[in-house]
Chains A and B, each alone.
Chain A
Amino acid sequence: DIQMTQSPSSLSASVGDRVTITCRASQSISGYLNWYQQKPGKAPKLLIYAASSLQSGVPSRFSGGGSGTDFTLTISSLQPEDFATYYCQQSYSTPWTFGQGTKVEIK
């Protein structure tokens, strides 16, 4: 199985801050990487697919990058509604696997 490792596990930030979350795969997964946002008590929501493609309806302050084993999710200017947990997921090979999550909290 491909192991996905996110860093940091949690972070505190203020509204307006630029935030970057990192996801590392245990082997090269090319651009087969998705990002999801999950708010408490809610289902995950797709933000970014294929490493850098913005899902329809997702604000442009979210962006994704990377290829191979190292990927990033960046929020250019953190908004109150962005406080949530973010997960990466590889779709290179089954079993599809997720990172452990990064919780973004209010400073």
Chain B
Amino acid sequence: QLQLQESGPGLVKPSETLSLTCTVSGGSISSSNYYWGWIRQPPGMGLEWIGSIYYSGSTYYNPSLKSRVTISVDTSKNQFSLKLISVTAADTAVYYCARRGSTIFGVVVRYWFDPWGQGTLVTVSS
């Protein structure tokens, strides 16, 4: 059974860099049909997609965060990582990693996020 687990510091100072890693177990991050993504949820609020990466290193990001985000992959460790620079209090959130899968319906491909990691709370505060 595929499982994802986030890890990293729970407290980051304003203007510094948030760094998180997602470790994938029970399956290979190099599976050809899947992308791997980061999604965040500020306390008491909704969900925001941050970006996704393929095992080859191909990435795509939410334009609202693109200037500050880098997602990378380490296939040897079955991990992918998130870096968010110049953080402020507005970046305080639970950060989730998730697999982006796809299903083919005839000639149409539909995408979904499943499974998700348990999430890790990152607080930006001095």
Contacts and interface: CB of A to CB of B under 8 A. Distances in A.
Nearest to B94: A43
Interface centre among A36, A94, A99 (most CB of B within 10 A): A94
Contacts of B49: 94-98
Interface string B112-126: 111111110000000
B110 A50 contact: yes
Interface stretch (B16-24, B58-66, B71-79): B58-66
A68 interface: no
A88 B84 CA distance: 26
A interface bracket (residues with beta carbon within 8 Å of B): 20 to 34
Interface residues of B, number: 23
Given A43-B116, A49-B103, A50-B110, A94 B46 contact: no
Contacts of A8: none
A23 to B, nearest CB: 12
Contacts, number: 64
Given A32-B110, A49-B103, A95-B62, A43 B118 contact: yes
B46 A100 contact: yes
Nearest to A44: B116
Interface centre among A1, A34, A43, A50 (most CB of B within 10 A): A43
Given A34-B112, A46-B112, A87-B46, 15 more contacts: A1-B63, A32-B111, A34-B113, A43-B96, A43-B115, A43-B116, A50-B103, A50-B112, A53-B110, A89-B47, A91-B112, A95-B49, A95-B62, A95-B64, A99-B46
Interface of A: 1, 30-32, 34, 36, 42-46, 49-50, 53, 55, 87, 89, 91, 94-101
